[in-house]
């Protein structure tokens, strides 16, 4: 039986940000991540900003995080962190919003937060906005995504993977897709450990996957 589009190993690998954001990660752990990314044929690696510049990552997209994981720092600090990440070779920056502002429905604050980081991450570099979807209701989630789009984001992203409320869900991705249409990418991340979970998120509208369990997910898919 022929695999349908985005369901074979190679196609899904091309959507993966292979991720290591544990605070205890060593330089050897980061080097192993890069080597594994090459072996698996994924699109990108996502590492903490202290790991930049990233050795041996030629041919891979290099992503990093700012305001991570709480988002509770001033926008100017996030922007400075993002500018340093770009100077250190980041191709993509995943920023965390102020989730409290999202819960309050403060769209103006959310837009200002994202816009400050966007200014520090000029195109063609990519800005992804982490909205911590599991901590928001549907209305709050839609407001956060709309604010991110208005401020110039390229992607909205479900989760840090560190929040006690949980990670990605198909329902959250559906709400995000309904809000941003086809205008923005959607990165699903947080707690995705099986091929079945990954495919459900892609079916819901995700266009990128943030995975630390990339090998396990890909081993569950057909194809070499």
Residue ranges of domains in the chain: 9-219
Percent of the chain predicted with pLDDT > 90: 96
Q: Which residues are part of the catalytic machinery? A: 94, 157, 187
* Lookup: tokens for 54: 């990233």
* Lookup: tokens for 76: 């100017």
What would the pLDDT profile of 147-177 be if each residue is shown by its tens digit?
A: 999 999 999 999 999 999 999 999 999 999 9
> Phi, psi (5° rounding) for residue 53?
-65, 150
CATH architecture under which domain 9-219 falls:
Alpha-Beta Barrel (3.20)
User: Which residue has better confidence, 34 or 5?
Assistant: 34
Give yes or no for residue 136 having a pLDDT over 50: yes
What secondary structure does DSSP assign to 92-158, as a single string? EEEEEP-HHHHHTT-HHHHHHHHHHHHHHS-TTSEEEEE--GGGS-HHHHHHHHHHHHHTT-SEEE-
What gap in Å lies between CA 40 and CA 23, rounded to an integer?
A: 24
96-126 burial: b if 16+ Cβ within 10 Å, else e: bbbbebbeeebbebbbebbbbbbebbeeebb
What would the pLDDT profile of 69-127 be if each residue is shown by its tens digit?
A: 999 999 999 999 999 999 999 999 999 999 999 999 999 999 999 999 999 999 999 99
Q: What is the DSSP letter of 165?
A: T
Total residues found in the chain within this entry = 224
pLDDT-based confidence at 5, cuts 50/70/90?
low
* Lookup: tokens for 132: 């911590």
The closest of 166, 138, 157, 165 to 207, measured between CA atoms, is 157
Global pTM reads: 0.96
């Amino acid at each position: 039986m022929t695999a349908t589009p985005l369901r074979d190993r190679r196609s899904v690998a091309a959507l993966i940000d292979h991720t290591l954001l544990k605070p205890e990660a060593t330089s050897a752990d980061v080097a192993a991540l890069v080597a594994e990314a090459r072996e698996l044929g994924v699109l990108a690696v996502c590492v903490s900003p202290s790991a930049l510049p990233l050795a041996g990552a030629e041919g891979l997209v290099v992503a990093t995080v700012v305001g991570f994981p709480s988002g509770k720092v001033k926008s100017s600090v996030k922007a400075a962190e993002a500018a340093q990440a770009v100077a250190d070779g980041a191709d993509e920056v995943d920023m965390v919003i102020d989730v409290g502002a999202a819960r309050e429905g403060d769209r103006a604050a959310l837009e200002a937060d994202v816009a400050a980081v966007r200014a520090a991450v000029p195109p063609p570099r990519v800005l992804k906005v982490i909205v911590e979807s599991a901590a928001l209701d549907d209305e709050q989630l839609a407001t956060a995504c709309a604010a991110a789009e208005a401020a110039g984001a390229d992607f909205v992203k479900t989760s840090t993977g560190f929040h006690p409320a949980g990670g990605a869900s198909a329902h959250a991705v559906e709400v995000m897709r309904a809000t941003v249409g086809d205008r923005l990418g959607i990165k699903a991340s947080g707690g995705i450990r099986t091929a079945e979970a990954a495919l459900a998120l892609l079916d819901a509208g995700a266009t990128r996957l943030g995975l630390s369990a990339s090998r396990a997910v890909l081993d569950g898919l057909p194809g070499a």
